[in-house]
């Protein structure tokens, strides 16, 4: 059947598509009618592959008028094609959909014969009827983790758009608004799962995940009441950080979270929930207990050195920083975390990305210089770290300060503390990745007016442009040479090659 389809559709490059296909099909219809009968028979074959191939052949027949006429007059084939939408094989259904899509785009009587509208409506009517949905809320108590996760995923999608999720889920509404009602139900269900004295760790994790899913409902509420959820989350954070919990239910959860990893699993979910809540209502950060719980995470090594917790915590701080009144404390805590011996390069990159966001704050210039001095001192140590990827992360952080769109606050910070000079010192680093990153930073500075002025004002940077930059064209590593070429190209484009001397005649490795 696939050969037959190819015979009909394979066209020479200069012939007209329709006329050539029509000629081939007319010859097929006159000389080999048995082959066309096999197509009709194959549409009801027990083999899915054969049914799919016959549908593909029928799809090719639609490309010519003779093929359309054959389908129009073949009621048996038309009925089998219509049934293909109900086929058990997804490949057959997919090919049937492709055929019907083509029919929608052509004007032919065969479109009326093979009109699947009524059948599609009957199929969809079953799936759009809420009464056909089997109860999924009880599945939240399933012993299978993947089933619980899939139910949470379904609820998250449903809560983001369904105008009446209570009806869809078959629940009873006690509120005026269906959105308010289902939020109340989900919050109560989550509390029940968390506070059950005979509950399990799986129930605790599902209860927290249900809180996160309920945020989709809060986004759709005009005046969301989120204080109860916040109190619940703060209690969970205190439990994970081994802080005092007075509630009996809280002590039961504490007994279930026996290992640091279990606590961190809950903690990172709680931090993500607070992050989402703050995006909805930043005024929450006026709650001192909430802010203190957030900052305490930074002080606990066993918590914040977990990559998942660290990322969630730093993402939360980035979103919260403009609204916090304790910016100095936040900066110092993040610096302390950066200086910990347990900090690896991935964590370092997350911390530096956080400082990059902090420097975007419009009030950063009002921060006491002692805090920024401490940041620079910590950063300068990273330029000299024994691990090359830590040095590379520090250099790339400086490069980000000069990237477009240019931030005056970031550029001023970099130039005030002479961070570009630390980068220039790394041009001769033993690690080629570090050398290439340093050259990229200089290129970013060339694109900035303030960065270029700084280069011109310092002898070290002028000497680099005059001699050291061209010499890197002879570096042993190709990506360093490529970074150098890009930097020279930027210098020519932006600054007309000012101050650079290409002494190529006196070198043994000539550029000629």
- Total Cβ atoms within 10 A of residue 102: 14
Residue 75 domain flag: yes
Give the contacts of 322 (CB within 8 A, at least 6 positions apart).
Answer: 361, 362, 363
Instruction: Quote the percentage of the chain above a pLDDT of 70.
Output: 88
pLDDT tens digits for range 467-490: 888 889 999 999 999 999 999 888
Q: Which of 128, 162, 182 is the last residue of a domain?
A: 128
8 A C-beta contact, residue 289 and residue 295: no
Q: Residue 500 sits in which domain range?
A: 326-512
Q: Does 447 fall in a domain?
A: yes
pLDDT score recorded for residue 506:
46
What pTM value is reported for the model?
Answer: 0.74
Contact in structure between 204 and 191 (CB atoms under 8 Å):
no
> Mind listing the pLDDT tens digit for each residue in 47-66?
999 999 999 888 888 888 88
CATH number for position 79: 1.25.40
pLDDT at 22 over 60: no
CB 224 within 8 A of CB 218: yes
Burial 136-149 (b: 16+ CB within 10 A, else e): beeebeeeeeeebe
- Asked if residue 288 belongs to a domain, the reply is no
Distance in Å from the first CA to the final CA of the chain? 62
| Average confidence score pLDDT of the chain | 86
Instruction: Yes or no: say if 461 and 498 are a contact pair by the CB < 8 Å rule.
Output: no
* 462 in Cβ contact with 456 (< 8 Å): yes
When pLDDT is cut at 50, 70 and 90, the band that residue 379 belongs to is: very high
Burial of 124 (0-12, 13-18, 19+ CB in 10 A): exposed
Q: Where do we find the tokens 């293909």? A: 84
Distance CA 329, CA 2 (A): 71
Predicted confidence (pLDDT) per residue in 107-131, tens digit: 788 888 888 888 778 777 766 666 5
In whole angstroms, give the CA distance from residue 485 to residue 502. Answer: 13
Supply the pLDDT for residue 9: 54
Q: Is residue 493 part of a domain?
A: yes
pLDDT tier at 167 (50, 70, 90 boundaries)? confident
More confident residue, 198 or 276: 276
pLDDT top residue among 368 and 462? 462
Which of these three, 100, 128, 156, is where a domain ends?
128
**Unique residue bearing structure tokens 């089997």:** 134
- What's the pLDDT at 505? 47
User: Rounded distance, CA 365 to CA 359, Å?
Assistant: 9
414 pLDDT exceeds 90?
A: yes
Q: Is position 489 within any domain? A: yes
Average pLDDT over residues 219-244: 89
Q: What integer pLDDT is reported at residue 146 of this predicted model?
A: 92
From 128, 163, 193, the end of a domain falls on 128
Q: Average pLDDT for residues 268-277, to the nearest whole number?
A: 96
Residue 367 counted as domain residue? yes
> Closest Cα to residue 442, out of 469, 418, 474?
469
> Would you say residue 511 has pLDDT above 50?
no
Residues 194/253, Cβ–Cβ less than 8 Å: yes
Q: How many domains does the chain have?
A: 2
Query: pLDDT: is 462 or 266 the higher one?
Result: 266
What CATH code is carried by the domain that includes residue 332?
1.25.10.10
Instruction: Compute the distance between CA of residue 64 and CA of residue 100 in angstroms, rounded to an integer.
Output: 15
| Residue 60 within a domain | yes
Spatial contact of 320 and 363, defined as CB atoms under 8 Å apart = no
| 417: in domain | yes
């Amino acid at each position: 059947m696939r050969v037959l389809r190819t015979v009909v559709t394979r066209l020479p490059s200069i012939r007209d598509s329709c006329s050539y296909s029509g000629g081939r099909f007319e010859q097929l219809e006159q000389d080999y009618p048995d082959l066309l009968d096999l197509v009709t028979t194959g549409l009801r074959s027990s083999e899915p592959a054969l049914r799919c191939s016959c549908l593909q052949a029928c799809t090719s027949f639609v490309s010519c008028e003779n093929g359309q006429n054959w389908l129009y007059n073949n009621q048996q084939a038309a009925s089998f094609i219509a049934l293909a939408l109900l086929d058990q094989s997804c490949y057959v259904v997919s090919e049937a959909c492709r055929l019907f899509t083509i029919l929608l785009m052509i004007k032919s009587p065969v479109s009326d014969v093979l009109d699947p509208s009524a059948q599609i409506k009957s199929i969809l009517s079953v799936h759009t009827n809420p009464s056909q949905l089997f109860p999924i809320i009880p599945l939240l108590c399933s012993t299978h983790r993947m089933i619980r996760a899939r139910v949470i995923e379904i609820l998250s999608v449903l809560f983001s758009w369904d105008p009446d999720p209570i009806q869809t889920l078959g629940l009873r509404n006690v509120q005026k608004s269906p959105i308010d009602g289902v939020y109340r139900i989900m919050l109560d269900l989550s509390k029940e799962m968390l506070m059950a004295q005979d509950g399990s760790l799986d129930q605790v994790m599902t209860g927290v995940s249900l809180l996160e899913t309920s945020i989709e409902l809060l986004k759709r509420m005009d005046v969301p009441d989120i204080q109860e959820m916040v109190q619940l989350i703060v209690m969970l954070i205190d439990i994970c950080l081994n802080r005092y919990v007075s509630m009996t239910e809280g002590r039961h959860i504490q007994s279930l979270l026996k290992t640091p990893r279990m606590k961190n699993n809950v903690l990172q979910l709680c931090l993500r929930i607070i992050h989402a809540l703050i995006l909805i209502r930043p005024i929450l950060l006026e709650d001192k207990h909430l802010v203190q719980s957030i900052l305490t995470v930074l002080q606990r090594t066993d918590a914040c050195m977990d990559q998942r917790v660290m990322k969630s915590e730093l993402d939360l701080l980035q979103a919260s920083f403009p609204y916090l009144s304790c910016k100095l404390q936040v900066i110092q805590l993040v610096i302390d975390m950066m200086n910990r011996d347990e900090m690896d390069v991935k964590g370092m990159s997350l911390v530096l990305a956080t400082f990059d966001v902090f420097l975007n704050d419009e009030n950063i210039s009002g921060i006491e210089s002692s805090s920024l001095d401490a940041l620079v001192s910590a950063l300068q140590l990273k330029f000299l770290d024994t691990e090359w990827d830590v040095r590379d992360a520090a250099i790339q952080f400086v490069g980000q300060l000069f990237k477009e769109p240019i931030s005056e606050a970031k550029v001023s910070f970099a130039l005030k503390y002479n961070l570009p000079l630390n980068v220039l010192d790394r041009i001769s680093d033993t690690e080629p990745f570090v050398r290439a990153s340093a050259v990229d930073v200089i290129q970013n500075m060339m694109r900035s007016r303030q960065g270029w002025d700084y280069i011109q004002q310092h002898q070290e940077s002028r000497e680099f442009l005059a001699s050291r930059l061209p010499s890197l064209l002879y570096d042993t590593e190709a990506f360093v040479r490529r970074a150098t070429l890009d930097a020279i190209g930027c210098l020519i484009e932006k600054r007309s090659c000012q101050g650079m001397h290409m002494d190529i005649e006196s070198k043994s490795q000539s550029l000629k």
